[in-house]
Amino acid sequence: MTDVSTRPAGGSPPASERRARTRARLLDAAHEVFAEVGMDAASVEMICERAGFTRGAFYSNFESKDELFLALITQLADAKLEEVAGRVRGLEPGTLADPSALVRQVVGVSLGERLEPQLVSEIRTQALRDPRLAAAYLAWQEVMRSRVEEIIRHVVDTYGLRLRLPIEEAAQLLLDVSDDTCTRATLEGRPVGEVTALLNERIERLVGVLVDAP
């Protein structure tokens, strides 16, 4: 028998659903405000006004602005990694002749308009000053590394590849190179399209070095 919602017609959504919508709107508003004025100038009041909520609604979902922005980069990065993971899950087993071609096919890194290197860099800068945010940032980095490890392991198993480093170290190296590339390119004032192209190029080269030729 099909499960039918017990919510009355025209009734209010459950508290959990309302909370999820509130968080989503606050995250979207924070991203818009950040794009306009940067993280330091993006006040809680500006974010609340953009989202159409009160400060009370903000603090019932986030303890601070820093926590909100950390949640934002988590959401954006998760979306990017899930896109890559979906492509990896669709790989057909076989012989891999060119690891670089695999990077172009599977990773296809695109920063797009959502995951700005500036946002990650600003949160990292704040984490250097705040021990609590530092702990949360490092925990987020660990989650990211674990996700990248899963992707690498799936590719290695699918094609029977051998790496010159343990998967854990390879994953961390890929993250470090990506972070350094994005930060430096942003400091140089490169547009997003150039940052994306440079990042793809460096990842392709790194993968070529990491994969042990048969």
> Residue 80's pLDDT band (boundaries 50, 70, 90)?
confident
Beta-bridge partners for 163: 211
Tell me which DSSP letter residue 151 carries.
H
Whether this prediction's pTM lies above 0.85 is answered by no
pLDDT tens per residue across span 166-192: 999 999 998 898 888 878 887 888 877
**Confidence (pLDDT) at 13:** 64
Helix ranges (DSSP H) in 3-130: 15-37, 44-51, 55-59, 65-89, 99-102, 117-129
Read off the pLDDT of each residue in 123-149 and give the average, rounded to a whole number.
Answer: 88
Distance separating alpha carbons of residues 145 and 156, to the nearest angstrom: 16
pLDDT at 111 over 70: no
More confident residue, 139 or 200: 139
For the segment 48-76, what is each residue's pLDDT rounded down to a tens digit?
999 999 999 999 999 999 899 889 888 88
- In this predicted model, which residue has the larger pLDDT, 58 or 161? 58
